[in-house]
Amino acid sequence: MSGTTTAGSGSTRTANSPWRNWAGNVTSRPVREVSPASAEELAEAVRRAAADGLRVKTVGTGHSFTSIAATDGVLIRPGLLTGIRRIDREAMTVTVESGTPLKRLNVALAREGLSLTNMGDIMEQTVAGATSTGTHGTGRDSASIAAQIRELELVTASGDLLTCSEKGNAEERAVFAAARVGLGALGVVTAITFAVEPVFLLTAREEPMTFDRVTSEFDALHAENEHFEFYWFPHTDNCNTKRNNRSAGPAAPPGRVSGWIDDELLSNGLFQVACSLGRAVPPVIPSIAKLSSRALSARTYTDIPYKVFTSPRRVRFLEMEYALPREAAVAALRELKAMVERSPLKVSFPVEVRTAPADDIALSTASGRETAYIAVHLYKGTPHRGYFTAVERIMTAHGGRPHWGKVHTREAGYLSGVYPRFAEFTALRDRLDPDRLFANDYLRRVLGD
């Protein structure tokens, strides 16, 4: 086949160029690309791929750092599967097409006077990409985006459309328990129903704090705030903390000038320059870190949730993140700091620490346990293997679970030991996709074959 054909209002074309992810560290060359405009068109594309002996993967905005979406078969682009299908104000749910970017969903919900309860710190991903890899924010009581799902619609390997929820029959409940964080292994998600609530206000308090203080008070800061997170700047004893709590208002967003200075100039513009300089001349990184960590000052502002939870992130990087039992977080972070201080490593990006309550999703990184997340980053183009390997050694010693969409080297043998419900997930995969239509090298590594 060559050229482009249309089916309904979607399209199928030969893939003439490689696909690359956002960070540029993953490339794949599919045989063809399909842009379905409906769940029925997507199901037909899946059936056709199976008949042609081709594997199928779906790609959103490419914000995963792993090869979870890479394929040499058929690449599904969900750019036409966007928008809200329906809002149920009685049940307080919204059903949205799987290719809808979180940014569009958040804006649309706010326009309707609604909001998700919690969200991550960026909103570039599609709803299906974010939930399938376990994207999360930080929260004492409110969990990941996937934990807010109330119903899922997906196309299975047989080309059938399956709707599942916790209210369905036994098989539908089993699929729902796994497919909310499905890694693209169980089918292609076509629509998601989220729980929502009336839009509310959050007051954010950002404040510098020393490393020793924030680690010694970590449990109290977690307990006292609905959403707590902090960043530690390597090569310094400085952290920046952020506490988000519901507020009666009134709204008081950051001033236009001060907000631009913090969110654009310091966090993106000057940070980009600093990272580029650090990559070219690594010995200057500790000095830059000391200046950067002192540049951000305390500030308080109040706004609707997505404007508080999320921030623009324009500097490209590679990231590794591990989910640990929450009680292990401080020890692991202190080990990480000691490792950086005794090594020749020069780390330009701050280390991010967040939390989540336990949830009931089979392969969620917070499945069955109170969780803390420790994320490390390096500027795009910086050699990362030495730093990430050393960090991973610390995290796995504490029973860490790697984020499915971020750099890691774990395989099925390790993962089956840190996920009590791992076998439940793989058994379901055997039932739904026995011929591994949705497999790729990444899934073979993390789930086995």
Residues 342, 206 share a domain: yes
Give the percent of the chain with pLDDT over 90: 84
Is 70 part of a structural domain of the chain?
no
The average pLDDT across 211-216 equals: 98
Is 41 part of a structural domain of the chain?
no
Residues 139, 263 share a domain: no
Residues 209, 193 share a domain: no
**Strand order through the sheet with 188-195:** 84-88, 93-97, 188-195, 149-155, 161-165
Residue 258 has pLDDT above 60, yes or no: no
Residues 388, 330 share a domain: yes
Q: How far is CA 177 from the centre of its chain?
A: 19
Is 10 part of a structural domain of the chain?
no
Is 7 part of a structural domain of the chain?
no
Higher pLDDT, 313 or 219: 219
Residues 362, 240 share a domain: yes
Of 80, 75, 110, nearest to 196 by C-alpha is 110
| DSSP state string for 144-206 | -SGGGEEEEEEE-TTS-EEEEETTS-HHHHHHHHHHTT-TTSS-EEEEEEEE-EE--EEEEEE
pLDDT of residue 276: 80
The predicted-structure confidence for 58-112, as pLDDT tens digits, reads as follows 999 999 999 999 999 999 999 999 999 999 999 999 999 999 999 999 999 999 9
The predicted-structure confidence for 400-428, as pLDDT tens digits, reads as follows 999 999 999 999 999 999 999 999 999 99
Residues 206, 191 share a domain: no
Is 421 part of a structural domain of the chain?
no
Is 16 part of a structural domain of the chain?
no
Is 144 part of a structural domain of the chain?
yes
Residues 280, 139 share a domain: no
Task: Examine the fold and report which residue of 198, 214, 235 is the final residue of a domain before the chain moves on.
Answer: 198
Task: Examine the fold and report which residue of 144, 167, 198 is the final residue of a domain before the chain moves on.
Answer: 198
Supply 269's token pair: 């513009």
| pTM exceeding the 0.85 threshold for the entire prediction | yes
**How many domains in the chain?**
2
Residues 253, 128 share a domain: no
Task: Examine the fold and report which residue of 179, 198, 217 is the final residue of a domain before the chain moves on.
Answer: 198
Q: Are 326 and 143 in contact (CB under 8 A)?
A: no
Q: What is the CATH number of the domain that holds 360?
A: 3.40.462.10
Q: What is the CATH number of the domain that holds 117?
A: 3.30.465.10
Residues 206, 135 share a domain: no
How many Cβ atoms from other residues are within 10 Å of residue 60's Cβ? Answer: 26
Residue 322: domain span:
201-303+315-408
Residues 389, 245 share a domain: yes
The average pLDDT across 125-129 equals: 98
Is 1 part of a structural domain of the chain?
no
CA dist 327 → 16, 222, 224, 241, 374 (Å): 50, 11, 16, 19, 13
